[in-house]
Amino acid sequence: MDNKVLNNLSYGVYVVTTVDGQRPVGCVANCAMQITYDTMCVSINHDNYTNSCIKKSKKFAVSILGEHVNDNIIPVFGFQSSKDIDKFENIKTINVDGLEVIEDSVGYIICELVNQFETETHTVFEGKMTEAKLLKDDVPMTYSYYHQVKKGKSPKAAPTYQEETPAADKVAYRCKICGYIYEGDITKEPDTYVCPICKKDKSFFEKIV
């Protein structure tokens, strides 16, 4: 199957947030859709800590990311786990009905969980919208824009993930966290070098044989 054709589907870029008890958690998602006038669905991978937290809290928020969103938002929420770190420590948010939403987003939607559907890899959460608000005038980011303009990568848990390989005659290193490929000899970079996607230092890169 030629998975490249799937790149022509329309995807957005969102941060889905919920709570782990009183602690805010969240992750990047690319599948969020309005089902009826007051219900929507989001799809979250089983491996994302946010998945189990939505099931427990019975609520979630969707922050719609724009093309001019702060460059730190996607690396923080897309390539690290809320189980291990506080993703909200250096991110400006707004608390709405007990959920944190991204201040630097086009807008947000608050949902109460009403149903969930399990697939082999993801849970599709259906929520009833209880609150929604526009926050700024920006063009909502698509995954096409994220990849082609921002030069961003997808984590392995994302439906849009496609493994990239360098040309056979080139030396290259791959980030073990997000999959970003550095073409050339990364050992010649200064120790201050960090991955442009997930911000990990060069010790997280491995040579591609």
- Low-confidence winner among 40-54, 74-88, 155-169 (lowest mean pLDDT): 155-169
For the stretch 16-54, pLDDT in tens is 999 999 999 999 998 999 999 999 999 999 999 999 999
Q: What is the mean pLDDT of residues 3-15?
A: 80
Predicted local confidence at residue 195, as pLDDT: 86
Find where tokens 């848990």 sit. Answer: 157
Q: What is the pLDDT of residue 150?
A: 60
Rounded Cα–Cα distance for residues 105 and 133 (Å) = 10
> Model confidence at 143, in pLDDT bands (50, 70, 90)?
confident
Q: What is the pLDDT of residue 196?
A: 78
pLDDT of residue 67: 92
pLDDT at 97 over 60: yes
Percentage of the chain lying above the pLDDT 90 cut? 58
Contacts of 78 (CB under 8 A, 6+ apart): 27, 28, 155, 178, 198
* Pairing status of strand 172-175 against strand 122-134: unpaired
Find tokens 């849970």 and name the residue.
123
Domains of the chain and any CATH numbers:
11-148 (2.30.110.10), 172-207 (2.20.28.10)
Q: Is the pLDDT of residue 126 over 70?
A: yes
pLDDT of residue 135: 97
Model confidence at 155: pLDDT above 70: no
Average pLDDT over the chain, rounded to an integer = 87
C-alpha to C-alpha distance for 184 and 172, rounded to whole angstroms? 5
Closest CA to 101 of 24, 42, 13, 20: 24
pLDDT, position 166: 52
Least Cα distance to 11 among 138, 146, 142 occurs for 142
pLDDT at residue number 132: 97
- What pLDDT, in 10s, does the model give residues 164-178? 555 556 788 888 877
Specify the pLDDT at position 161. Answer: 46
For the chain, report the end-to-end CA distance as a whole number of angstroms: 25
